[in-house]
Amino acid sequence: MIEIERVSLQLQGAQILHDISLTLPKGGVTALVGPNGAGKSSLLSLIARLSPLQTGSIRIDGMPVDATPGSVLARRIAILRQDNAVASRLRVAELVGFGRFPHSRGRLDAKERALVAEAIARFDLTDLADRYLDTLSGGQRQRALVAMAYCQGTDYLMLDEPLNNLDMRYGRELMGTLRRLADGDGRSILIVLHDINHAAAYADRIVAMRCGRVVAVGTAAEIIDADLLERVFGFRMRVESIGGRRVVLHHR
Amino acid sequence: MHLCVGLALALLCAVSLFVGVGELSAGRLFGDPEQMRLMLVSRLPRTLAAVLAGAGLAIAGLVMQTLARNRFVEPATAGTAQSAEFGILLGVLVFPAASLAMKSLLASLAALAGTLVFLVIARRLPPQQPFLVPLVGLVYGGVVGAMVTFIAWRADLLQMIAVWTQGEFSGVLRGRYELLWIAAALVILAWWVADRLTIMSLGEQVSVGLGLDYRRMLLLGLAIVSVISAVTVVVIGNIPFVGLVVPAVVARLAGDNLRGALPLVGVCGAGLVLACDILGRVLRYPYEIPVGTVLGVVGAVIFLWLLARQTPHG
């Protein structure tokens, strides 16, 4: 369970987050949605202790993120930010292997290597395993980074716009993989998404944010509503039901 | 590849032991006490010094590039070596009777402070412009170096400061190079934390995400860079380009996974410095050209070749 209590954030005088309190139960896929500047990434960074907490408290399974040793948290939460400027000449398999660092401290035995191989296979990277990262396309590199975060084997997996750079097929596969991780392995997925339809199709829970505040929390059926979406995104879009699924026609 | 590089270094060591102004032949070495003395007092220390300094400087360059997340910086030009010179100069002015070890300590502390300032500046530069970091490094190193020169000039110590700004091995004798073993110890330490250094090269957020104590590792890396540079400056003098070109060449061949690449960087650094020292001994035989000068030329050529072949991100 992730408990966020009265969290505010100020950066260079600008108020990024306003007094956010939110409890996310363990398990399932939770999507953070909202327009640019809503504070989704900032909130994710705070939860994953990548930025220092200014006010309020955040606890993950009872552990305060600002007071728990980083190496302990690294075995409970994995985070992938969107602005990864990885220019390293590492091979894909080596990068994914570093996901095991919190557990192995760098010594990969047979069991650890099997986990790395499984992660590589799961994200369809087998053919690329021996390639250097700087020879890959943006989408391939993104998949390698997601595989590394997955390979960390944590209860909580947090991804900031992981669909960036992915084509439709790999975007769909990634969302499917995350869904299976939540259903099959009981992992909790927390994901920032831009495309509201991906959130509607795959998430158990949608947190809609705007201007540093949480506007609404609910299931896809509750959130995918023309009035509510207009309040969040600031413009009117058509919402249709196709085959029992809510679809937002936001393009025109 | 490791085997070839190792053999090449062994060969260079053998050559280094028998090249110099004093005649030395392998056949008479064990029969003639004078020959043995020359070997133990001069040739062996000089060879060891070149190997230790070369390996140390290459690793210091590698670690600094990891901390700055930029392939084009090295301690010899980005202010670390110049700060070390500053420390030595202060030592000479304030504690004229200080021992070599005491000077090394002062040089290390000054190098630590100077490198920290550089890293603070480097982190504020926009990451989209990778060439800005080494350029700012050059300017920064130049400013610190100019300060050293100015103070030395006012104190009438210019001749003395030249000993540290210009690296050379001709003064290395038994009893005057042993501080360099500290560099060897730090190279081993760097290898010990190689995985952590590789993770650091992926950036602060990935490091924190994987549970690394980023600040502590930053300080450890700083200490490795500063102490190796300072000890080398105190014993040998500044040697440019080793920390720049060796890690870059090895990264092209063996990648950035430091567990595997770090030993290769050390051995290649040792080989490069030793080869340049041998070159300096034979070019104007019986006179010598300082290794710093030889490397200035050789290193610049390798660096230009790298620039021509590689994008700043590569």
Could you tell me the CATH number of the domain that includes residue B205? 1.10.3470.10
Q: Which domain, by its residues, includes B106?
A: 40-308
CA distance B107 to B124: 26
Q: Could you give the dihedral angle defined by the CA atoms of residues B4, B9, B14 and B16, in that order, rounded to the nearest 10 degrees?
A: 150
The answer to whether the Cβ–Cβ distance between B202 and A79 falls below 8 Å is no
Number of other CB atoms surrounding residue A79 within 10 Å: 26
- Residue ranges of chain B whose pLDDT lies below 50: 312-314
**Closest Cβ opposite residue B211 in set A70, A84, A90:** A70
- Would you say residue B16 lies in a domain? no
Q: How far is A3 from chain B (nearest CA, A)?
A: 19
The answer to whether the Cβ–Cβ distance between A75 and B205 falls below 8 Å is no
The confidence score (pLDDT) of residue B313 equals: 46
Q: Is B195 helix (H, G, I), strand (E, B) or coil?
A: helix
Residue with tokens 């210009």: B166
Residues of chain A contacting B195 with CB distance shorter than 8 Å? 98, 101, 105-106
> Could you read off the pLDDT tens digit of each residue along chain A, which spans 252 residues?
989 989 899 888 888 999 999 999 998 999 999 999 888 999 999 999 988 899 989 999 989 988 888 888 899 999 998 866 666 788 999 999 998 999 888 777 888 888 899 999 988 899 998 899 888 888 888 889 999 999 998 999 999 988 888 889 888 988 998 998 899 888 999 999 988 898 888 999 999 999 989 998 988 888 888 888 888 898 888 888 888 888 888 887
Tokens of B230: 């300072």
Residue with tokens 């800005």: B132
Please check whether residue B109 is in contact with residue B47, taking contact to mean a CB–CB distance below 8 angstroms. no
- Nearest Cα residue to B62 out of B207, B291, B212, B259: B259
A89 in reach of chain B (CB within 8 A): yes
CA distance A105 to A96: 14
Residue with tokens 């032949």: B25
Chain A residue nearest residue B313, CA to CA: A87
A87 in reach of chain B (CB within 8 A): yes
Q: How far is A183 from chain B (nearest CA, A)?
A: 24
**Closest Cβ opposite residue B209 in set A72, A79, A105:** A79
CA distance B77 to B239: 9
CA distance B259 to B245: 19
Interval A13-33: pLDDT, tens: 888 999 999 999 998 999 999
Q: Which domains does chain A have, with CATH numbers?
A: 28-50+64-249 (3.40.50.300)
Chain B residue nearest residue A82, CA to CA: B205
- Would you say residue B15 lies in a domain? no
A152 in reach of chain B (CB within 8 A): yes
Please check whether residue A134 is in contact with residue B314, taking contact to mean a CB–CB distance below 8 angstroms. yes
The answer to whether the Cβ–Cβ distance between B313 and A134 falls below 8 Å is yes
Please check whether residue B203 is in contact with residue A85, taking contact to mean a CB–CB distance below 8 angstroms. yes
CA distance B72 to A78: 31
- Would you say residue B28 lies in a domain? no
Please check whether residue A160 is in contact with residue A38, taking contact to mean a CB–CB distance below 8 angstroms. no
- Would you say residue B181 lies in a domain? yes
Chain B residue nearest residue A45, CA to CA: B205
User: What ipTM goes with this model?
Assistant: 0.84
A132 in reach of chain B (CB within 8 A): yes
Q: How many domains does chain B have?
A: 1
A52 in reach of chain B (CB within 8 A): no
Please check whether residue B224 is in contact with residue B185, taking contact to mean a CB–CB distance below 8 angstroms. no
The confidence score (pLDDT) of residue B268 equals: 93
Interval B3-51: pLDDT, tens: 888 888 888 888 888 787 777 777 777 777 877 777 777 888 888 999 9
The confidence score (pLDDT) of residue B159 equals: 81
CA distance B96 to B106: 13
